[in-house]
Amino acid sequence: MKAVRKPDYGLDAPSAVRNLLIVAALGIISLITRLLGLWSRHDAIAAIARPLMGAGLGCGAMGLWMIYDSKIGKLREREYFLDRITWRGDERVLDVGCGRGLFLVGAAKRLDTGGAVGIDVWNAEDLSGNTPSAPLDNAMLEGVSDKVEVHTGDARRMPFAEATFDVVLSSMALHNIYNAGERQTAVREIARVLKSGGRVLIVDMRHLTQYAATLRDAGVDARCVQGVVSSLLSLLTFGFVRFGYVIGSK
């Protein structure tokens, strides 16, 4: 019997996952040196291996969580976030930084007569297998290929006219624009292509308050939502990760 293909939305931040697992492996090696009694005979080994054990445990847990979230967790999270929008079914949707189509396809599945457009620069460092064909392949596997199209495009210079889309989405993409001014430009572009009465949803791990402020400056009534999990992650990462979402309407 031929195996049924399932959608594949890739591994997020594959380089980061690789590095975390390398540190985890070093932690396991350090534990082995302790079990073999090498610490008591070699102070230098103990001095290096002791902190590596702790780091390896933390990095290993984070790496495994990122793998789980990429393969299972983010599919569930997608539905939660898309439920924040009340859908009619006839919307014209844009997914900014669509990657392999997680939110793009999720939105298309909620449409009857509408359509979903994705744009990306296809950076494989941010998502494994990030190519223009990947979201189209996933759309076909999820039965919505007739509602999906993709374009190569930069969020800071979108190739669309003003007031083109009823809904604009972006998930875990804008933080990859490292310059703060250019991130603001991308958010203003989101506001520009959004129709009057349209809705915007930005999910990200950083810069959420800045996104909301920029949207408000551009005429979008936007608010930032961060829960208990976000507060915990912010504490554990010394403010580096502030996971949540921005939602608004124009």
DSSP 117-157: EEEE---TTTBTT--THHHHHHHHHTT-GGGEEEEE-BTTB
**In the predicted structure, residue 214 carries a pLDDT above the cut 60:** yes
Write down the pLDDT at residue 116: 98
Query: Are the C-beta atoms of 222 and 211 separated by less than 8 Å?
Result: yes
d(CA 201, CA 219): 15
Domain boundaries, the chain: 14-73, 84-249
Query: Are the C-beta atoms of 191 and 250 separated by less than 8 Å?
Result: yes
Taking the CA of residue 75 as centre, how many other CA atoms within 13 Å lie in the half-sphere pointing to its CB?
A: 13
Per-residue pLDDT tens over the stretch 128-155: 999 999 999 999 999 999 999 999 999 9
Top pLDDT among 96 and 123 is at 96
Tokens, residue 44: 């230098």
Interval 216-243 mean pLDDT: 68
The segment with the largest mean pLDDT, out of 27-41, 170-184, 228-242, is: 170-184
CA nearest to 123, candidates 203, 15, 27: 15
**In the predicted structure, residue 165 carries a pLDDT above the cut 60:** yes
Q: Which CATH architecture does the domain made up of 84-249 adopt?
A: 3-Layer(aba) Sandwich (3.40)
Interval 69-76 mean pLDDT: 85
Alpha carbon distances (Å) from 140 to 120, 147, 243: 19, 10, 30
**In the predicted structure, residue 17 carries a pLDDT above the cut 90:** no
> Model pTM greater than 0.95?
no
Write down the pLDDT at residue 2: 58
**In the predicted structure, residue 227 carries a pLDDT above the cut 80:** no
Per-residue pLDDT tens over the stretch 104-136: 999 999 999 999 999 999 998 889 999 999 999
Which bin fits 87, alpha (ψ -120 to 50), beta or left (φ > 0)?
beta
Write down the pLDDT at residue 63: 86
